[in-house]
Each structure stands twice: as C-alpha cells, then as structure tokens.
Amino acid sequence: MRILVVEDDPDLSKALVRALEKRGFAVTPCFDGLKAFQTIRQDAHDIILLDLNIPGEDGLHLLQRMRNAGIGTPVLILTARSSIGDRIAGLNAGADDYLSKPFDLDELEARINALARRIRGHEEERITCGSLRFERDSGAFYIGGEPLVLTPREQAMLQALIARHGHAVTKERLFRVVFSDEEQVHFEAIEVVAHRLRKKLAGTGTALMTLRGLGYLLREETAAAASGKEK
C-alpha cells in the first residue's frame, strides 16, 4: 500500500516513514502543503496521512483543494489539534479519519488498514480507459456500447493492462498472466497477443503502447495523437 506522509517535523516524519516501512507500507514523505498538492496530482497514493500545521498551505486548505479538484484519496489527519471543533472542521473539509498526537503506532496501523478495507469495499464495478470499459462482474469488455470480442489470451492480457491503465506493465508479468498454465511457449508470444489487441483497439480512442525495455501501457488516446495517425 502506498502512503503519502505530509508532515513538516523532520524527526516525526522520519520516524513515521521508518515505522510504516517496517510494517510493509511504501511511504513517501512530504514537508509542505504546496509540494504535497503537486505530489498528489502527479503520483497515485492509496492513503494520505496529513498534518494540519504545515507550511506553504495548511492542511485544511490542502484537503479542501483536493476535494474540489475531485481527488478522492482517503485522508487520515494526524495533528496536535484535538478539540471537537478541530475534528469537525477536518471531517467537514473531507477527511476520512482523525487521530490526535501523540498517537500509538499500532492504532495508526489499525486505522490505515480500516481505510484500506473501505477502499476495497468500494472499488468500482467497472473500469474505463477512453472508450474501453471493463465490467468486473461479468468480465466483459465494451467499446462504447458494443461488446469487444476477444480470445481468452487477449482477454487475460487486456484485463491485466486495464487494471493498471496509465502505467507500464512488464512483459514478464503479462506473460505469466496470459500463459500461466502453458508449457513450451516462447516468450515472444506475448508480442503476438499484443499485436492482435492493438489491431482491435485501433481507432477506438484507447491505445496500447509498447515501451521499450519496460513493457506495455494502456492509455486513452489524445485527439492530437489520433489525428496525427490519420495523416
């Protein structure tokens, strides 16, 4: 789980990062509100631990900017402000939980795990990338309103890609997903499946890109890129 820690106290920040990493979390530290907003916009995190008394932009304003921008990442406020009024202000600004300093690390971990369970419980039943839509319950793909006909191998590869759309997925990982139970399949066979998928997605507004040395990436195709191909 990826956690962003927004805390300006360097000693507390280091202690939090070290403690959470020991408990298996991937942690990114940030020390002021302005930098935190840039980081939140650029990088995906599962949970944000937010102090209210931070420089650049205080925690409440940062939280309000996030929610106004449509960023729904769960936020757990960690602060020395412990009055009922402060708690209400934080929750009204869009916080998901509130923990006063000083706090116990076991309680912090328990609250993080509770937020994680809430995230998993509210996962969307469908994933979209451009005009491509994947329905989790049926396992079907659609382009607009039309079903996309796929072979089992294409289905397995596209499902792995759309789950991480906008991010590179390595060929090795895709090969294991697509050919998990098959023996004596050449590694290059994954390129054949990718080629067939790319042909089926051509002109749909969803592009399958090859990233040399990294793997494949599924993303929404921009109008400029599409028009450039047409020329």
Q: Convert the pLDDT of each residue in 72-124 to its tens digit.
A: 889 999 988 778 888 888 888 899 999 999 899 899 999 998 888 777 655 55
Give the residue-averaged pLDDT of 3-17: 94
Q: What is the DSSP string of 140-209?
A: -EEETTEEPP--HHHHHHHHHHHTTTTS-B-HHHHHHHHTTT-SS--TTHHHHHHHHHHHHHTTTTEEEE
Structure pTM? Answer: 0.55
Return the CATH architecture of domain 2-121.
Answer: 3-Layer(aba) Sandwich (3.40)
Which pLDDT score, from 0 to 100, does residue 80 have?
A: 86
Q: Give the residue extent of every domain in the chain.
A: 2-121, 126-230
**Which residues, including other chains, have CB under 8 Å from residue 99's CB and lie 6 or more apart?**
76, 77, 78, 107, 108, 111
Beta bridge partners of 141: 134
Neighbouring-strand partners of residue 208: 218
pLDDT tens-digit series, residues 49-60: 999 999 999 999
> What is the structure's pLDDT at 28?
93
CB atoms < 10 A from the CB of 16, how many? 21
**pLDDT beyond 60 at 231:** no
pLDDT of residue 36 exceeding 90, the answer is yes
Structure-token match 């002021």, residue found: 32
**For position 228, what pLDDT does the model report?**
47
pLDDT score of 182: 61
pLDDT at 73: 87
Express each pLDDT in 148-203 by its tens digit: 999 999 999 999 999 888 889 899 989 988 886 666 788 899 999 999 999 999 98
Residue 174: how many CB atoms within 10 A of its CB? 19
pLDDT(30) > 60:
yes
CATH architecture classification, 126-230: Orthogonal Bundle (1.10)
Residue 225 pLDDT class (50, 70, 90 cuts): very low
SS3 3: strand
Sheet holding 75-79, edge to edge: 26-30, 2-6, 47-50, 75-79, 97-100
CA distance 112 to 59: 18
- One-letter identity of residue 120: R
Confidence category of residue 23, pLDDT binned at 50, 70, 90: confident
Q: What is the predicted pLDDT for the residue at 219?
A: 93
CA dihedral 202, 197, 133, 147 (to 10 degrees): 90
Task: Identify the pLDDT of residue 222.
Answer: 61
